[in-house]
Amino acid sequence: MLEFEILQELEPNTEILEIIKDYEYIVKNGRIKHLKATNLQFIEPTEYLITFSSTLTILEYKVNEIASKNFYIKEHNQKYNLKEIKQILIKLKL
């Protein structure tokens, strides 16, 4: 059986939480896990699920600073940076 060890809990982004506070939403913290007996690490993204006024699932991946687009919206099948995510969420309010 595969055994995982959680190396780090990933906290939600406070800027996104500030924008989505007017919606009904669920946040699932991300994790960095290590597969025991190997040198493999897995990253589970932080998930922001907006459930009211519109349904939107935003995944935030922990990546290095070189990658500029660390957000993914399932419904759009596209990657975004923080500035683009803010604009999308502000448009949803209107």
Residue at 66 is within a domain: yes
- Distance between CA 55 and CA 49 in Å, rounded? 7
Q: Cα dist. 67→22, 33, 61, 88 in Å? A: 29, 21, 10, 20
Q: What is the DSSP letter of 66?
A: T
Residue at 34 is within a domain: no
Residue at 16 is within a domain: yes
The pLDDT value recorded for residue 1 is 82
Q: What is the DSSP letter of 39?
A: S
Q: In what order do the strands lie in the sheet with 78-80?
A: 25-28, 46-50, 56-60, 71-73, 78-80
The pLDDT value recorded for residue 58 is 92
Domain extent, residue 80, equals 12-29+45-93
Residue at 68 is within a domain: yes
Residue at 23 is within a domain: yes
Residue at 51 is within a domain: yes
pLDDT in tens for each of the 94 residues of the chain? 889 999 999 999 898 899 888 888 999 999 999 999 898 998 899 999 998 877 899 999 876 555 678 899 999 999 998 899 889 888 877 6
Looking at the structure of the chain, the number of domains it has is 1
The pLDDT value recorded for residue 89 is 84
The pLDDT value recorded for residue 65 is 57
